[in-house]
């Protein structure tokens, strides 16, 4: 197996218009965390979540990918492509899963499943022996990486809807590229070597993978990588330095504007990586995840505020620590893995962290009713029917 392939396998309640009685978003949200369990081993990791709360990931014991039902309930194995192991990296809102599996011949091939993880289809390769799928959109377009003919190079790919057909996305001038994320317009993000053949830059494509645009890097750094893109075209990832021995280091999480414009670093002082973004522009990522002398944690970036997820009171109270957050859906549910006190074997456990809308206090209800009453009175004064009456 090549060095490049090995490296890859080693990421409110709101009532509009009644400001006097609206409940602030920060005050209206609490959190709950649940462990997703394991199937037959001592650890599990969650890789992606859709808007129904279906989660995909992997564990040990048996090297098979898993999928859950809605809100992380019920974990069961996915199939393989004839081999002994499979890995899941993404899931769309139909429950189609993308990842890779060993085949009966021992090679690793990208796959797509049917709805709710049923069945498994081999996506093939770009002419070589290996391929891995990292992302999928709601049309079933899949992106990832594949070896080219003779395993001469590794290039990013995109498929058509339903995983049909595999197209080489090319590079930014080097001989290597990989695609990690795709939105529902078919805009693709990932990383590619540039003309010098060594430096890697994040990229974004046009719709359905057309063209490849260099997103460059944050000031003072040489390398960058894009992990995810939302349906507005906002891109997240990290920028720093790359070494063949150490990998990426001294990195800083970034976010772009719509369409990949204007890369900006998130205001996090430590080593940080942005892993996922939802359509609200909320970002999750890691802090000090690869620092040997640091305590790893994860963050949520929302409306300009950064929250350390490992320090949330419900997280600490439930015995969780050292969270790694890698996915967030459009309901703000966050998945990843972390350490859970008292777990047999001491391995990481997949988690689902969900926002909980607080129940307003009695005085809030009174203010709300008073506000609605005033509006109704005003409508009657104008001789109009109240919108709150049938």
230-278 pLDDT, tens digit per residue, is 999 999 999 999 888 888 889 999 999 999 999 999 988 789 999 999 9
324 within 8 A of 337, measured Cβ to Cβ: yes
**Mean pLDDT along residues 357-377:** 48
Residue 155 lies in a domain: yes
Per DSSP, helices labelled H in the chain are 3-9, 313-317, 362-381
Question: pLDDT exceeding 70 applies to what percent of the chain?
Answer: 83
Assess contact for 238 and 218: CB atoms under 8 A.
Answer: no
Q: In this predicted structure, what is the pLDDT of residue 130?
A: 98
Question: Is 185 within the bounds of a domain?
Answer: yes
Query: Is the dihedral angle over the CA atoms 267, 270, 276, 282 positive or is it negative?
Result: negative
Q: Say what the pLDDT of residue 12 is.
A: 28
**Which of 128-137, 193-202, 338-347 is predicted most confidently?**
128-137
- Span between the terminal Cα atoms of the chain, in Å: 69
Q: Which of 118-127, 153-162, 352-361 has the lowest mean pLDDT?
A: 352-361
CA dihedral 285, 290, 295, 300 (to 10 degrees): 0
Across residues 120-140, what is the average pLDDT? 99
**Per-residue CA distances from 130 to 64, 106, 147, 168 (Å):** 18, 10, 5, 14
Give the domain extent around 108: 3-8+59-324
The maximal CA–CA distance of the chain, rounded, in angstroms, is 80
Residue 22 lies in a domain: no
Identify the band that residue 334 occupies on the pLDDT scale cut at 50, 70 and 90.
very high
In a domain, 119, yes or no: yes
* pTM for the model: 0.85
In a domain, 243, yes or no: yes
Alpha-carbon torsion, ordered 301, 305, 306, 309, to 10 deg: -80
Q: Determine the average pLDDT of the residues in 84-97.
A: 98
* Residue 18 confidence (pLDDT): 27
Count of domains in the chain?
1
pLDDT at 33 over 90: yes
pLDDT at 53 over 70: yes
Residue whose pair of structure tokens reads 């204007």 in the numeric block: 262
Confidence of residue 361 (pLDDT cuts 50, 70, 90): low
CA 311 to chain centre: 21
Rounded Cα gap, residues 116 and 170, in angstroms: 32
In a domain, 239, yes or no: yes
Whether 292 is in a domain gets the answer yes
As a whole number of Å, the CA-based R_g of the chain is: 23
Is residue 294 situated within a structural domain?
yes
What's the CATH number where 300 sits?
2.120.10.30
Weakest mean pLDDT among 17-31, 78-92, 306-320, 322-336: 17-31
Examine the pLDDT at 346 and tell me if it is beyond 50.
yes
Confidence bin at 329 (pLDDT 50/70/90)? very high
d(CA 363, CA 21): 10
Tell whether the model's pLDDT for residue 201 goes beyond 50.
yes
How sure is the predictor about 358, in pLDDT bands with cuts at 50, 70 and 90? low
**Token pair recorded at residue 243:** 């070494």
pLDDT the model gives residue 197: 87
Question: What span, in angstroms and rounded, lies between the C-alpha atoms of 48 and 53?
Answer: 9
85: alpha, beta or left, given left = phi > 0 and alpha = psi -120 to 50? beta
Residue 21 in this model has a pLDDT that exceeds 80: no
Contact present, 371 and 360 (Cβ < 8 Å): no
Mean pLDDT for all residues in the chain: 86
Residue 210 has pLDDT above 70, yes or no: yes
Does 23 score more than 50 pLDDT? no
Q: Where is 133: in which H helix or E strand?
A: strand 127-136
pLDDT at 11 over 90: no
- The per-residue pLDDT for 39 is 86
């Amino acid at each position: 197996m090549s060095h490049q392939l090995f490296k890859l396998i080693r990421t409110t309640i709101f009532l509009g218009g009644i400001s006097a009685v609206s409940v602030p978003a920060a005050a209206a949200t609490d959190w709950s965390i649940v462990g997703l369990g394991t199937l037959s081993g001592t650890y599990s990791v969650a890789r992606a979540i859709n808007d129904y709360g279906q989660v995909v990931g992997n564990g040990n014991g048996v090297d098979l990918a898993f999928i859950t039902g809605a809100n992380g309930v019920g974990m069961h194995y996915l199939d393989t492509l004839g081999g002994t192991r499979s890995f899941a990296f993404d899931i769309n809102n139909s429950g189609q899963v993308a990842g890779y599996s060993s085949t009966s011949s021992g090679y690793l091939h990208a796959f797509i499943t049917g709805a709710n993880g049923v069945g498994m289809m081999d996506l093939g390769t770009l002419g070589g022996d290996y391929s891995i799928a990292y992302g999928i959109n709601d049309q079933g377009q899949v992106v990832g990486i594949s070896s080219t003919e003779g395993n001469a190079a590794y290039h990013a790919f995109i498929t058509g809807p339903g995983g049909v057909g595999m197209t080489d996305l090319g590079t930014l001038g080097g001989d290597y590229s990989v695609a990690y994320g795709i939105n529902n317009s078919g805009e693709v993000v990932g990383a590619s070597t540039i003309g010098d053949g060594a430096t890697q830059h994040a990229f974004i494509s046009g719709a359905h993978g057309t063209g490849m645009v260099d997103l460059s890097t944050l000031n003072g750094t040489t390398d960058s990588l894009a992990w995810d893109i939302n349906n507005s075209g906002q891109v997240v990832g990290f920028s720093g330095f790359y070494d063949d021995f150490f990998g990426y280091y001294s990195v800083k999480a970034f976010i772009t504007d719509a369409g990949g414009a204007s890369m900006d670093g998130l205001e996090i002082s430590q080593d940080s990586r942005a892993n996922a973004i939802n359509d609200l522009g909320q970002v999750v990522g890691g802090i000090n995840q690869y620092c040997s002398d640091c305590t790893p944690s994860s963050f949520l970036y929302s409306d300009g505020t950064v929250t350390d997820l490992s320090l949330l009171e419900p997280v600490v109270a439930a015995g969780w620590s050292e969270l790694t957050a890698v996915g967030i859906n459009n309901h703000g549910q966050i998945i990843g893995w972390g350490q859970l006190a008292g777990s047999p074997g001491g391995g990481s456990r997949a988690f689902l962290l969900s926002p909980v809308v607080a129940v307003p206090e009695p005085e809030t209800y009174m203010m709300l009713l008073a506000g609605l009453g005033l509006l109704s009175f005003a409508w009657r004064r104008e001789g109009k029917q109240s919108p709150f009456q049938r």
